Amino acid sequence: MLSLGYGAARRMRNLSIGVLALAGSAHAETVTIAALGDSLTAGYGLAQDEGFVPQLQAWLDDQGADVKVLNAGVSGDTTAGGLSRVAWTLTDDVDAMIVTLGGNDYLRGLDPAVSRANLDGILAAGRDAGVAMLLVGLKAGGNYGPAYKEAFDANYADLATDYDIPLYDGFFDGIRAAAGSQDQFGAYMQPDGIHPNKEGVAAIVAALGPSVLALLDGVD
């Protein structure tokens, strides 16, 4: 659901784009989505056509969507890194943004409150730019204790509510569903146990793809 603030910003951003109607039909422009993330988005350890963005692009093409997905993933990036580059990621031709950040914050044990503030800044930039947004959550493990996990996991749901944007709860949910059990989870991961392999990305995209299609419906 889009807030009034989002709709107003989007309408102002699109004042210069008109809709060309000829013989009762309209010309729809290709929707451009920026995928802002870290190595999970960038496609770390994979061939060029095996990463998250190219597999998502292929999946959307197969669904007949007129969309271009831009790879704005930087390996090793934290939420702070995403915040530092979101302004130049959101160029005038970007219509929507997928945000998948926080994994490196968790791996480094950064304060969830700091991660939340950075994600808040990223989403505020997207709102101000008038782009449709999809926030993709990540689930922390229990190695920093239950209080850390609770605070980290809650960041995504709380911010999605604050900005009235859709949340895809867990980036790795598609792998969990495909694996069926924790014993089989490793078959979809690279040897480092952190990054998905080609088959893992395919499972992630198959599960996440419908949420991206729904995001396109929110683009004016």
Name the active-site residue from 38, 77, 105, 195: 195
CB of 78 closer than 8 Å to CB of 107: no
Evaluated on CA atoms 115, 118, 120, 123, the torsion sign reads: negative
Q: Is 120 a catalytic residue?
A: no
Q: How far is CA 40 from each of CA 18, 69, 173, rounded to the nearest angstrom?
A: 36, 15, 14
Evaluated on CA atoms 204, 175, 188, 142, the torsion sign reads: positive
Bridge partners of 34?
Answer: 70, 97
Angle between helix 52-62 and helix 198-217 axes, rounded to 10 deg:
60
Q: Is 195 a catalytic residue?
A: yes
DSSP state of 195: S
Name the active-site residue from 39, 77, 105, 153: 39
Max CA-CA distance within the chain?
A: 63
Q: Is 66 a catalytic residue?
A: no
At 98 the three-state DSSP class reads strand
Beta pairing class for 25-26 and 21-22: antiparallel
Element (H, E) at 89: helix 79-89
Name the active-site residue from 16, 62, 183, 192: 192
Q: Which of 211, 181, 213, 185 is nearest to 199 (CA)?
A: 185
At 46 the three-state DSSP class reads coil
Q: Which residues are catalytic?
A: 39, 192, 195
